[in-house]
Copies of this chain bind each other. A is one copy, B any other.
Amino acid sequence: MIKKNFADLRIGDKSIFEKTITEADIFAFTGICGDFNPLHVSKTFAKNSMFKGRVAHGALVAGLIDYTLTDIVGLGGVHISQFCRFKAPVKIGDTITVESELVDKNPEKNRLKIKSTLKNQDGVIVLTGEAEAMLPE
């Protein structure tokens, strides 16, 4: 990882992260967060739902943004806020590509704004996000 300062950061800096979502991801995340919503953990319930199958927790999918934030902000970067809109379900076996871009920087306040778009293997947008981050003090 690269330690960065404000001079290193340019509006338009991008980072891409790609990962296939597995059943193991969903059950590990369920154990962390305690959300046993059957849409995530029951094959039978989920098959009969509007999604026609198990879907990943929105918060799990949102977590995929983290890699790109650390990549853009650099070593020791700190996450200040995050907005996420969950636009389409993510199913087991889907490959999610996160593309994040630095859209604003404010050296006086030590604040960076990063927008993210997450798509599945078919190019469908599954999540859009906006983060605030800061460089380590």
Residues of A with Cβ closer than 8 Å to B? 1, 17, 19, 25, 28-29, 31-39, 45, 49-50, 57-60, 62-67, 69-70, 75-86, 136-137
Stoichiometry (number of copies): 2
User: A19-B34, A69-B35 are known contacts. Are A83 and B86 too (CB-CB below 8 A)?
Assistant: no
* A-B contact list, 10 entries, CB within 8 Å: A28-B31, A33-B63, A35-B63, A36-B70, A39-B76, A39-B136, A45-B76, A50-B136, A57-B66, A58-B82
- Report Cα–Cα, A130/B76, bound state, in Å: 27
User: A31-B28, A63-B59 are known contacts. Are A49 and B79 too (CB-CB below 8 A)?
Assistant: no
- Report Cα–Cα, A32/B49, bound state, in Å: 25
Question: Which residues of chain B are within 8 angstroms of A45 by Cβ–Cβ distance?
Answer: 76
User: A34-B19, A63-B33, A63-B57 are known contacts. Are A78 and B39 too (CB-CB below 8 A)?
Assistant: yes
Distance to closest chain B CB from A54 (angstroms): 12
User: A79-B86, A136-B50 are known contacts. Are A60 and B32 too (CB-CB below 8 A)?
Assistant: yes
Question: Which residues of chain B are within 8 angstroms of A67 by Cβ–Cβ distance?
Answer: 33-35
Question: Which residues of chain B are within 8 angstroms of A32 by Cβ–Cβ distance?
Answer: 25, 28-29, 60, 63
